[in-house]
Each structure stands twice: as structure tokens, then as C-alpha cells.
A and B are shown apart, each in its own frame.
Chain A
Amino acid sequence: MSKSAEGQAPFKVSEETLAAIDRYIAQYPTKASALMPCIWAITDEIGHVPEGGVDLLVEKLEVTRTRVHEVLSFYTMYRTEPQADNVLQVCHNISCHIMGARNIIAHLEKKLGVRMGETTPDGKFALEGAECLGACGHGPVLQRGKHLYEYLTTDKVDDLLDNLRKGEVPRADTDRELEE
């Protein structure tokens, strides 16, 4: 099934992921229409979709390899390479910009010693710009995986980085129990 590069472990996903893929195929009206959720299922387990994952999708969904590659490259959230432990995506769109995203970006660049679009040499942090994250009235904001950190200040950024360095992902504002 896999034709991964020499020296790399062959591609393998868990039984759960395979079951999820089969579930999506049953749920969606055509096999091909299950492509996006199946890409997510692989991504959820291993963080990206390597070539072996493409093989799996081609086989399961009966779509062409080109089509899988097209879809993987069209959407910004799909990745085909391993990612840094912490991909920090800072919104640089208009509302966050007005509310000071520039300062947050400058602060992150200084603290991490990398520029936007780069990864720290230890592979722990990648700094990326993001378009509007749908949190404009709560800006500036940054996202790490499922967590959205809002109302950022340089102090909050420092706290966040300290926690992430210790391997802890702090609660985000959006993880809250909803309160008045």
C-alpha cells in the first residue's frame, strides 16, 4: 500500500483512523465527497498527510492521485510535511491589525528569534501569519491547533510561550465554560 521514501518507516495509521475513514465513506453520498473528512482523519492522527496517506486515500475513495494532491495543496490547513510542535498562527488581517497585531507579531519574533514564516531551529515553534480567524472583536488573536487565544497582550504571549515550552497547552478563551 505504501511507497514511502527509503529509510522512513512505512506509512501506517491506526485501526481507529481506518474505521473513521470507513465511517465517512458510508456517511457521505459519494466516495469522492468523503475526501476532506478522510484527509482530516489522517491529519488528526499524524499531523500531516505523507505520500503513503495519499495512497490510502486513492485506494479507499477511488479518486485519482492528482485529485488528492490538488485538494491537499488548495487548502491552507492541510499539510504534507511534518510540522513544528507548536504552529502559532497570528491573525494579521484588518481588525487585528487595527488592534495591535503588529506589536504581537514583533514581540513573538523577538521572543522566538525567528521571523514570520520561519520555524525555530529546535523545531518547537513555527510562526505563521493567518487571515481573519473570525475573532475580530476579540483581537489581537492567535491560533494553535484547536485553541484560539484572544485579547492578546505581550504578557499573555509570554505566559503562553512559557507554558508551551513546558509542553503544556493552556486553556484558551474558547475552551471556557460559557459564562455570562
Chain B
Amino acid sequence: MSRNDDRILSARFGRKDGHKLSVYENEGGYQALRSVLGKMQPDEVTEVVKESGLRGRGGAGFPTGVKWGFVPKDAEEVYFFVNADESEPGTFKDRYCLDYDPHMTIEGTIISCFAVRAKLAFIYIRGEFGWLIDRVQKAVDEAYAAGYLGKNILGSGYDLEMIVHKGAGAYICGEETGLINSVEGLKGQPSIKPPFPAVAGFLGKPTIVNNVESVAAVPWIITHGAEAYKAIGTEKSCGTKLWSVSGPVKNPGVYEVPLGIPFREFFNDYLGGMADGEDLKAVIVGGSSVPVLPADEIMNCNLDYESLQQAGTMLGSGGMIIIPKSSDMVELIQVLMHFYFDESCGQCTPCREGTGWLHKLVKKLRRGEGTAEDIDTLEHVCNGMMGLTICPLADAAVMPMRSFIDKFRPEFEALIQETATAGPQTRWPRGEQE
């Protein structure tokens, strides 16, 4: 698929009025829904999505149709949540979907709800996206008025209500059980799995949580067929992916490309390379929670789930953070450890204490009071966190921490060395960050 070919998710990105129902309908919008309601059985829809190879775009990459299949067939009450909490540092793609083309996500949600027999859907949008919440609410109102939502949709006998739910500032609410608890009117703390939400979620009933980008792909898959979707990308990484790119490249922004394209090509042809005067040092490819790769390693990678895993990192949310030579890696990891420490919900001791220790130790290095032993201690703390908690937030802190040390150890050592000779220094960040 070349740059200007039919794009699956981003056809209306950046277009005036792309968010309006009339524009969406003129370009074939809601035709997929019409071809489903009254014509297909819910399980047939699930089967098509399974066949397409679509994998969750929220971070974990779990096959979407397979997840839907876990909902018990005889369930009376099923809930569906669209995860638009988008708070993973470096990630801003779901915002583009909802801002420029909310109806695509709404149509995808209606079809997804039909597939799992849900009668109520929530679009959970992070509270900071105030303007976006208004926009999506308007689009939902339009969809109700046009008969795509509510009772007896398009005369098919299928009923679905949709609520736009406003979050209130908590990264952990992006984790699916945290999200569900949050809408139940509780603190957004994750719950232990199993039971998985697909079996017992919101109010104890079967619940599916999907990322915006995952459901947004559903109408296209229905219209064009599973085979057509599968034909894009690689064997196991099917379809296209939105990459949200930040940092000093010539053209930061959100790009849709087939999974599996070489990073080098993406970097040169889409991002235009580095901004003038900057050199590439490293890339965090899938949002702040995945391991960092130095320039020479990422340059030889392809952008799909398997290749990135082989290279020692993860595709994650597709929040690609470009790090220039001029950045100080110890400083950047301090920024990230502050974030995870701040966002730990505090339920699990390894996470609550561990993120605190990582943050404290990195600050100690940055204050110029570090010793070589501190690097060992950092690794030791990481070992005591990984895989030992209710949700993966602890792992999400460990992965960048470990990889920054592994790949950029000389920078940590140089800082310690400098301290030993020059004595303590005061470095930014201070104030809030301290």
C-alpha cells in the first residue's frame, strides 16, 4: 500500500468536516453496519474479525476476534468499553481517530457490540481531552438521530445505547480492569485476572474492552472482507497500524502504514529524517513502557509485532518517541521514573515501593551523589518488580529502566565518574520533579 492508496483508518485525518456524519456517509460510512444488521449473525461477525488477523492496538496485541469469542454465548447482559484513555507517554493516535473521524469508531463499536451481543457501550475518554469529549458526544448524538443507535437500529430489532464517559486523570484507568472499576464509580485500581473481563467484568458481567484503533478497523474489515485485511502486512501482523511519532524529526505526527515496513523506510520517507541539526540516538518504538533501542538496532528492524519482539522491544501502542543525540539518557529516564512512580495505584508492594525506589535512585544519580553500586541496586529493584504484580504497570516501569541501563550504561557510568571527580551537582529537573 503506497502512501496515498486507500487508507483504512486515516482517510479523513486532517480533513475539514471529516468528523461530520454527512461526510462519513458520503464516503461509504455506516454501509458496513447495514451489511451486518439483519444479514449476519453475531458469531459470523466475530468469525470474520478472527479471520482477518486483527490484533488489539491498545498495547498487548491480543487477537480481537478471539477475545470476543470468550464471551459466553448464553450471557444475558454484556458490556462493551472502547478504551480512549490514551495516556501512554508518546501516544496520540486515538485522539486523531476520534478528532478527525469519530463516526468510524462509533460504527466500529456498534458492529463490535452486535458481535458480542452487548446492549450498552461506553467510550471512555481521558478527562484531559475536554474538547474531544464534546466532539465525540456530538457525533454520538448525530448517530442516535440517524437511527444508528438506540432502539431497533435500522429496523433490525437490535438495541444499543452508547455513553461517552469522561475520565478524570489517572494513567492506570487505561488498564482494562482499572477502566471497568472506574466506571463502576470506584477508584480506578486494577483487579486480579482471572476472571478475565470477557467472563466477569463490569458489574460482574461479561465485558469486552477494546482500544479505539482496534474497533475503528472493524467497518473496513466487514466491507472488504477478512482476506483483504489479511493481505496487508505480514503473516502474523495483519493490516495497518497507526504510529504516533514525537521528537525532533522533520515531520512528527500520526501515520498509517502496513505492518512490517522497515523502520528505515518509515523514518526516511514518512518522517523525513531528523530535524536540521539533530542526529538520531535512540527510539522508544511503542510508547514509554517498552524497551528503548539504539539507532543502529532500530535501523535494521521492521515495524511489526514479531520483528520488534525479536529485536528485544515491543510494538506496544505505536507511540514512537524519537530521541536525539543531544538528549541525556539519565535525564530522560528520570522523567519516566517520575511518571510511573506518580501513576502507580499503590495496591501492590513491589510496584508502589519499587517505582519509588527507581525514581529515588535515578534522582540520586542526577544529584551527583551516585556510586557504581547504585546501578546494581537499580537492577536489583527491577528484578523484584517484574511479573510480580496485579497489573503490568510495574513491568512498564522496569522495561524502560532496564533497557536504558543495558543500552546506555556508559552514560550512567560517566555521570557517576563525573560526580566522583567534580563533586555533587544540581541538575534539572527540580521543583515538582524532585
Interface of A toward B, CB cutoff 8 Å: 27-30, 32-37, 39-40, 61, 63, 67, 70-71, 74-78, 92-95, 97-99, 102, 115-117, 128-139, 143, 145-148, 172, 174-175, 177-180
Contacts and interface: CB of A to CB of B under 8 A. Distances in A.
Interface string B168-204: 1111000000000011111110000000000000010
A102 B428 contact: yes
Interface string B108-151: 00000000000010000011111110100000000000000000
Contacts of B87: 131-132, 134
Contact of A131 (B134, B182, B343): B343
Contacts of B132: 174
Nearest to A72: B168
Contacts of A98: 246-248, 321-324, 327, 332
B16 A139 contact: no
Given A35-B185, A137-B246, A137-B252, A178 B89 contact: no
B432 A133 contact: no
A37 B165 contact: yes
Given A76-B168, A92-B432, A132 B16 contact: no
B335 A92 contact: yes
A37 B166 contact: yes
A106 to B, nearest CB: 9
Contact of B335 (A27, A94, A128, A145): A94
A67 B186 CA distance: 7
B398 to A, nearest CB: 16
B385 to A, nearest CB: 20
Contacts of B92: 134-138
Interface of B: 14-19, 86-92, 94-95, 99-100, 120, 126-132, 134, 161, 163, 165-171, 182-188, 203, 244-248, 252-254, 284, 288, 319, 321-324, 327, 331-332, 335-336, 339, 342-343, 428-429, 431-433
A57 to B, nearest CB: 10
Given A34-B185, A98-B332, A147-B131, A136 B169 contact: no
A137 B245 contact: yes
Contacts of A129: 432-433
B339 A131 contact: yes
B428 A137 contact: no
A61 B343 CA distance: 28
Contacts of B163: 27-28
B90 A94 contact: yes
A36 B342 contact: no
Given A33-B185, A94-B284, 6 more contacts: A27-B163, A30-B184, A131-B343, A134-B126, A174-B132, A175-B131
Contacts of A97: 331-332, 335
Given A94-B335, A134-B128, A36 B288 contact: no
B292 to A, nearest CB: 11
B168 A36 contact: yes
Contacts of A177: 16
A146 B432 contact: no
Contact of B168 (A77, A131, A137): A77
B88 A132 contact: yes
A71 B432 contact: no
Contacts of A33: 183-185, 203
A118 B352 CA distance: 26
Contacts of A180: 14-16
Contacts of B86: 134
A76 B170 contact: yes
Given A36-B185, A99-B247, A146 B130 contact: yes
Contacts of B321: 94-95, 98, 136
Contacts of A32: 184-185
A93 B88 CA distance: 10
B89 A132 contact: yes
Enumerate the 8 nearest inter-chain pairs by beta-carbon distance, A residue then B residue, closest first: A146-B130, A35-B185, A75-B168, A136-B246, A76-B169, A95-B246, A77-B169, A137-B252
A172 B168 CA distance: 21
B300 to A, nearest CB: 23
14 contacts: A30-B185, A33-B183, A33-B184, A61-B185, A94-B336, A95-B90, A95-B246, A95-B247, A115-B431, A128-B432, A131-B89, A132-B89, A134-B128, A180-B16
A143 B243 CA distance: 23
A154 B182 CA distance: 38
Contacts of A63: 185
Which of A33, A63, A92, A172: most chain B Cβ within 10 A? A33
Nearest to B336: A94
A60 to B, nearest CB: 12
